[in-house]
């Protein structure tokens, strides 16, 4: 990881073509090993589901196959174009997570899979997600676990870094199976997320720390993701 100043929206549009290849290569990242368990974490399909920062649309397509009526949006025009091409029957639009073009109470489920830490105004995205939820609706998120970004291991022990509470903006270049990708986004302490929930009047309904499984089947000693399902208070 390299700590930098940056803008996540610009970074993801710049590297959109790389992400399309990365996201559509089976088993290249952990999505393929987490997705079934994450779908079990979601409530059953209702009248409408919103996919926050849907990217090239792989989560939206999988949700649609499972009976969800999905609307996906992303700030990247390139990624939305790719999502539309891959799923012509779906609904995808370019939009800002902090200023959604939907009426209040439009969705009974809002999903943010590995998205909130890549949004410049995370608290604004939570606030808008809350606004477009029905009174009985749920927001389900997966984020990179704060223990994964703010904590490191030394001699088998967890050591909290100096920047855990402040958070940082970082870019990381990763290459697997000859496919390169530049990941850009924010590290947030756990309280940054819970503060956003509290400010939006949301209550935590369920928490999961799924075991992180490497491509070779071995299990990581620390979690990679944190899953939270929240409801309106």
79-107 mean pLDDT? 97
Report residue 1's pLDDT band, with 50, 70 and 90 as the boundaries.
very low
Q: Does the pLDDT value for residue 3 go beyond 90?
A: no
Query: CB-based contacts of 156: which residues, under 8 Å, 6+ apart?
Result: none
How do residues 148-178 score in pLDDT, each as one tens digit? 765 555 665 666 666 788 888 988 899 999 9
Determine how many CB atoms are found less than 10 A away from the CB of residue 7: 12
End-to-end distance of the chain based on CA atoms, in angstroms? Answer: 37
How do residues 113-146 score in pLDDT, each as one tens digit? 999 999 999 999 999 999 999 999 999 999 999 8
How do residues 20-73 score in pLDDT, each as one tens digit? 999 999 989 999 999 999 999 999 999 999 999 999 999 999 999 999 999 999
Q: Does the pLDDT value for residue 92 go beyond 50?
A: yes
Q: What is the mean pLDDT of the chain?
A: 91
Report residue 2's pLDDT band, with 50, 70 and 90 as the boundaries.
very low
Phi, psi dihedral angles at 10 (to 5 degrees): -65, -40
| pLDDT score at 72 | 98
CA separation, residue 199 to residues 102, 119, 195, 226 (Å): 21, 17, 6, 20
Report the candidate in 164, 190, 8, 17 with the shortest Cα–Cα distance to residue 96: 8
Report the candidate in 163, 167, 166 with the shortest Cα–Cα distance to residue 143: 167
Q: Does the pLDDT value for residue 15 go beyond 70?
A: yes
| pLDDT score at 155 | 64
Report the candidate in 126, 166, 135 with the shortest Cα–Cα distance to residue 149: 166
CA separation, residue 48 to residues 51, 86, 153, 196 (Å): 10, 20, 42, 23
pTM: 0.92
Q: Between 16-23 and 77-86, two packed helices, what is the crossing angle to 10 degrees?
A: 30
Query: CB-based contacts of 25: which residues, under 8 Å, 6+ apart?
Result: 177, 179
- The secondary element (H helix, E strand) that includes residue 91 is strand 91-94
Report the candidate in 6, 226, 220, 219 with the shortest Cα–Cα distance to residue 115: 226
Report residue 203's pLDDT band, with 50, 70 and 90 as the boundaries.
very high
Q: How many domains does the chain have?
A: 1
Report the candidate in 5, 16, 1, 43 with the shortest Cα–Cα distance to residue 148: 1
Question: Could you tell me the CATH number of the domain that includes residue 90?
Answer: 3.40.50.150
Least confident of 2-11, 12-21, 97-106, 119-128: 2-11
| pLDDT score at 4 | 46
């Amino acid at each position: 990881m390299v700590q930098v100043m940056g803008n996540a929206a610009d970074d993801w549009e710049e590297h959109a073509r790389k992400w399309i290849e990365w996201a559509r290569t089976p088993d290249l990242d952990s999505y393929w090993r987490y997705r079934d368990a994450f779908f079990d974490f979601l409530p059953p399909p209702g009248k409408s589901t919103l996919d926050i920062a849907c990217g090239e649309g792989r989560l939206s397509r999988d949700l649609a196959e499972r009976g969800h009526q999905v609307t996906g949006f992303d700030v990247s025009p390139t990624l939305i174009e790719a999502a539309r091409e891959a799923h012509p029957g779906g609904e995808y639009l370019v939009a800002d997570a902090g200023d959604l073009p939907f009426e209040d109470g439009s969705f009974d489920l809002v999903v943010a899979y590995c998205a909130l830490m890549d949004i410049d105004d995370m608290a604004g995205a939570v606030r808008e997600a809350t606004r477009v939820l029905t009174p009985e609706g749920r927001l389900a998120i997966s984020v990179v676990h704060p223990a994964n970004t703010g904590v490191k291991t030394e001699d088998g022990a967890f050591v909290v870094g100096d920047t855990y509470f402040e958070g940082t903006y970082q870019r990381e270049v990763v290459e697997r199976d000859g496919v390169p990708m530049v990941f850009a986004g924010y590290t947030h302490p756990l309280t940054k997320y819970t503060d956003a929930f509290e400010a939006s009047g949301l209550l935590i309904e369920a928490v999961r720390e799924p075991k992180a499984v490497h491509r070779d089947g071995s299990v990581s000693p620390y979690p990679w993701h944190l899953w939270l399902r929240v409801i309106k208070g």
